[in-house]
Amino acid sequence: MENHTLRGTVCTLLGGIGWGFSGACGQYLLQRSNIPSLQITLIRMFFAGIILVLINIAKNKKAAFDILKSKKNILYLFLFAVFGLITNQFTYLKAISYSNAGTATVLQYLGPVLIMIFVCVTSKRLPTIYEFIAIILAFSGVTVLATHGDFTALQLSKECLFWGFLSAVGLMLYSIIPKKLISEWGAVTVSGYGMLIGGIVLFFLVRPWTITIDLDIYSIAALCGMILIGTVFAYTMYLQGVNDIKEVKTSMIACVEPVSAAVFSFLWFKTEFLPIDIVGFILILSTVFILNIKKK
């Protein structure tokens, strides 16, 4: 049991670090290459989807295709792909393009608060005291990041705040839409098909055969890092962690990703974070701890 707990903790942390590394790879591609955010999203989702589907086929054989036998399942996979995955990943990259991987990832973690608000609205109830505190902390954190305490000037661009908020909406949608599918078919199956469907949709929307992009060896390495480490590896490690420690603390997992994204951004691009930025990060990420306490 202790070995499983240790393995689960390590795998969970590696998964979060992998997701943070993915954000840093995205920042590199947006700053050092000519690949637009939508094309990066297409490449990541299409190839990560193929790999995850192949892993699922190797694991479940013919049963891997059973999810596609229901038209309702296909509809929910399509909604998950378009409104959840594409929305989140594209807007997240857009937020990075106007700031950096660390800041964009923290803004994305307004998602759990949006999920809580959605639950309150659909359940027709007021927030509990913990939920109300989480809302206040999230609003305060965004305010601190955006103004640095000077309410006469913005430190983050309006574009960064706009796309960062939309990425949080995307996180909320990709957490809510596939919930029933995941409980029945598993996260790897649903995520694999969701990413592949999203990649196919983007393929016809973007029409990459009409676009010329120049890829050097470093850009190719960054793309491979996003696909293999930031998606396939991170997801499989995370799921192994959840399997090993059933009572896994979502606060620990959630906070590793933005912290690692900020560290990679600092080490890789020398991105400077002021002490007041760290305060904003802590305020937003503390909402995840607060909501975790509420669940208990």
Domain boundaries defined on the chain: 2-295
238-289, pLDDT tens digit by residue?
766 766 665 445 445 657 888 899 899 988 888 888 899 999 899 988 887 7
44-74, pLDDT tens digit by residue?
999 999 999 999 999 888 888 999 999 999 9
| Assigned token pair, 163 | 């796309």
Q: pLDDT band at residue 1, thresholds of 50, 70 and 90?
A: low
